[in-house]
Structure 1
Amino acid sequence: MRIRLLTPAAAAALMACTSLGLHLNAQAQDWPTKPVVLVVPYSAGGPTDVVARMLAIPMGKSLGQTVVVENTVGAGGTIAPARVARAKNDGYTILIHHMGMATAPSLYKKLPYDPLKDFEYIGQVLDVPMTLLSRKDFPANNFQELLAYVKANQEKVSLANAGIGAVSQLCGMLFAYQAGVKLTTVPYKGAGPAMNDLMGGQVDLLCDQTTQTAPVIKDGNRVKVFGVTTPQRLTAMPQIPTLDEQGLKGFDVKVWHGMYAPKGTPAEVINKINTALNVALKDPVVVQRIADLSSELVTPDRATPQSLKTLLESEVKRWNTVIKAAGVTAE
């Protein structure tokens, strides 16, 4: 049997690769040794920001390091994913994003990242229903009156959203599309400013997540609510009918959230973040606060990398069909 000896250069290269592999493995085992940045694509106080800050504390306790929430706002929520996609793949910069990860490829002609190729998946987080609201002195008092009014006065009715690409824009777009009307859309820099102007009477309508709208609805006299966007009524607010049961058949918008890391982040690090996420999803304070916002944390079988990957792939296809049918694009 012939034994082939490595040349000095080949041996040195092999030793270097082995040393690098051992070094990276040791780093993954020691991770984290400093705070982890959780990037949010939207403004402070908005729905996604609220969820991120709820999860950050129990995740930090589980990891043994602070999880710092940073709001990276702009371009319809596309700047934050682009930032994370370019970040060092060491697990210290991660992303929480809603279904905007699935809609961006159809909304934007030039996207500075690929949602399906530029990230590692950590897991799904929660589902958030949405509600259709109006200013408190809007002429309509129920959904049928709302439909009649917007059809007769569509050129006068303003529809607020939290910015191009935000889920409030998509929900409002679907409402107008299925109602057969074209309304004046008013984009804001975040859900908070949009809600403030709705309550102040500066705009007429807003469709947004219950993390943002539930406290206002429960307050009783600051807005009017015309329906929820899921096929079933909300357990926390069963008195509010769905848009589907009131005539917009098949209307179903539920805002799912997921966590991502840059492509190439070590599997050991992803597993540690996923474990911390699952700990946070069971935290009693988080569970209660999410329930108060009429939202639903995912079950453990959905808080996995594979589950989020499968969901994102299917949602990219779904929203591509919807957005093309509505003829909506963003620069």
Structure 2
Amino acid sequence: MKKLLLATALSTLAGAAFAEYPEKPITIVVPFAAGGPTDKVARDLGEALRTKINQVIVIENVGGAGGTLGASKVSKAAPDGYTLLLHHIGMATSPALYRNLPFKTLEDFEYLGLINEVPMTVVGRPTLPANNFAELMKWLEANKGKVNLANAGLGAASHLCGLLFQQSVKIDMTTVPYKGTAPAMNDLLGGQVDIMCDQTTNTSGQIESGKIKAFAVTTTKRLTTPTLAKLPTLDESGMKGFNVSIWHGLYAPKGTPKAALDKINTALKAALKDPEFIKREEALGAVVVTDNRVNGADHKKFVEAEINKWGPVIKAAGQYAD
């Protein structure tokens, strides 16, 4: 009986301690360099969250090792609600990509909710002879073994989409990894590489300005933004079932008190309904999540399903990192 009373008292004190949460700035760790697509999502979300949770939101970029350094830092951070992680699909692909992953994806984090889903686009250098997807396929067939496929590094969104694209078209290409999205795009613009499969957050502006060629989107439905609405889907172009979106989610270290998690999740849900945030995401071709995956439990179920989806793809390609 005394133990029960003590446990109740401690629980009450813990709840009281977080009643005023947050009392200081909250740091959102982005496991990639500043200026990239995930950093853009984090900064837009941080601005929306700031007004919902009434506290300063600090964005900290901890890049390296395909996002695993930043994620590892958060997994080991104090579980007090003041250090969060905003990560993309790498949360689900890291278990297959890295043999010595310094954290356990489904065990070392509290899941707060999914933020958005970002379609991918198949794009090419401006001097590529092809002008539509059918012409691209003919060009790829005619240049087997000579095509350079760029990506932003092992585990990056462009790497994952590129793997699935190669498997679908059954054409071997030379994969050219870069240290980030910006240098990969720069070489595509300059014609040093031929094609890339990358997020709309990174390609929309270049497509709109006519600096690169766009051939298709990776969702099963066409996009509605003016820049991308005319692009066919890979599914309708003959790759039945091809569906890749790069999502972003929010996480806290395992053991973060429920009172803090509830406040963050409530603020997150409000931020995802913020008109300015929605406007910014839609301008990039991203779709803000509004379904049950904004809840922690459903977010975690979704990530587990994504782990099961991407594991076989990565293992079949045989591309790993220590």
Q: In structure 1, what is the Cα distance between the partners aligned to 2:8 and 2:308?
A: 42
Gaps of 5+ in 2: none
From 217, 220, 228, the equivalent of 1:231 is 220
Give the count of matched residue pairs: 320
Alpha-carbon offset, residue 290 of structure 1: 1.0
Alpha-carbon offset, residue 154 of structure 1: 3.2
Superposition pairs for residues 1-331 of structure 1, below 5 Å?
20-219=10-209, 221-236=210-225, 237-331=228-322
Question: 1:278 touches 1:300 (CA, 8 Å); kept in 2?
Answer: no
Residue 121 of structure 2 aligns with an amino acid whose one-letter code is T
Residue 67 of structure 1 aligns with an amino acid whose one-letter code is I
Question: 2:95 touches 2:101 (CA, 8 Å); kept in 1?
Answer: yes
Q: Which stretch of structure 1 is more off in the superposition, 315-324 or 109-118?
A: 315-324
Q: In structure 2, what is the Cα distance between the partners aligned to 1:61 and 1:234?
A: 30
Alpha-carbon offset, residue 301 of structure 1: 2.7
Q: Which stretch of structure 1 is more off in the superposition, 176-185 or 319-328?
A: 319-328
- TM-score, normalization: structure 1? 0.91
**3-state DSSP class of the match of 1:78?**
helix
Q: Which stretch of structure 1 is more off in the superposition, 195-204 or 162-171?
A: 195-204
Q: In structure 2, what is the Cα distance between the partners aligned to 1:35 and 1:188?
A: 34
Question: 1:52 touches 1:69 (CA, 8 Å); kept in 2?
Answer: yes
Alpha-carbon offset, residue 152 of structure 1: 2.9
- Give percent identity, aligned residues only: 51
* 1:21-67: CA deviation from partner (whole Å, max 9, x where unpaired): 44422221121111111011112111111111001012112222111
Gaps of 5+ in 1: none
Shift of the 154–70 alpha-carbon distance from structure 1 to 2, 3 Å rule, reads farther
- TM-score, normalization: structure 2? 0.94
**3-state DSSP class of the match of 2:292?**
coil
Question: 1:43 touches 1:189 (CA, 8 Å); kept in 2?
Answer: no
Residue 222 of structure 1 aligns with an amino acid whose one-letter code is K
**3-state DSSP class of the match of 1:30?**
coil
Alpha-carbon offset, residue 324 of structure 1: 2.2
